[in-house]
Amino acid sequence: MAMLHRSEEVTASQSYAYQYPVSIAVQRHCHPMPGQTSAATLCGPVEAEWKTEALNSRAGVDFVASRGVLQWASGDTFTKYIQVYVLRAAARPRAAEFAVQLGLSRGAVVPRAHRATRIRLAR
């Protein structure tokens, strides 16, 4: 069985650009089933949908709304990255947060604790 895990921490360093990227690592772990000796033989193809979600922020003002699909071919266990863009505000009246959600997946299980990464933008 394959499991997907997102990174525990996300850091964003602001630059002078209008928008700057934030990368979130998503790892695939293949676990051998009882009686199997190798997890690699169990790593079939996987697709996982992801999307951004406004919490107390606004898409188009604080971040770029986006969505996509991560894909792993059979046997591929390399880390994949989701790249989202934070918009540089002249002055934020308050800290803002948005999330990147891992959603529907085919060929893998996404544990509840790993379904969302919150990104906090300072004032």
Q: What is the CATH classification number for the domain harbouring 47?
A: 2.60.40.2030
Q: Would you say residue 92 has pLDDT above 60?
A: yes
Q: 16-34: per-residue pLDDT in tens?
A: 446 788 899 888 887 666 6
pLDDT per residue as tens digits for the range 58-85: 898 889 999 999 999 988 888 999 999 9
Domain count across the chain: 1
Q: How far, in Å, CA of 24 to CA of 5, rounded? A: 10
pTM of the model: 0.76
pLDDT in tens, 45-62: 889 999 999 998 889 888
Task: Give pLDDT tens digits for 99-114.
Answer: 999 987 888 878 777 7
- For residue 9, pLDDT over 60 is answered with no
Laid out side by side, the sheet with 19-30 consists of: 2-6, 19-30, 80-87
Q: Which has more confidence, 95 or 78?
A: 78
User: Tell me, what's the pLDDT at 111?
Assistant: 79
The range of the structural domain enclosing residue 103 comes to 2-11+18-121
The residue ranges of DSSP E strands in 1-72, in sequence order, are 2-6, 19-30, 46-54, 67-72
pLDDT at position 40 is 52
Residue 91 banded pLDDT, cuts 50, 70, 90:
low
Q: Using an 8 Å Cβ cutoff, are 107 and 46 in contact?
A: yes
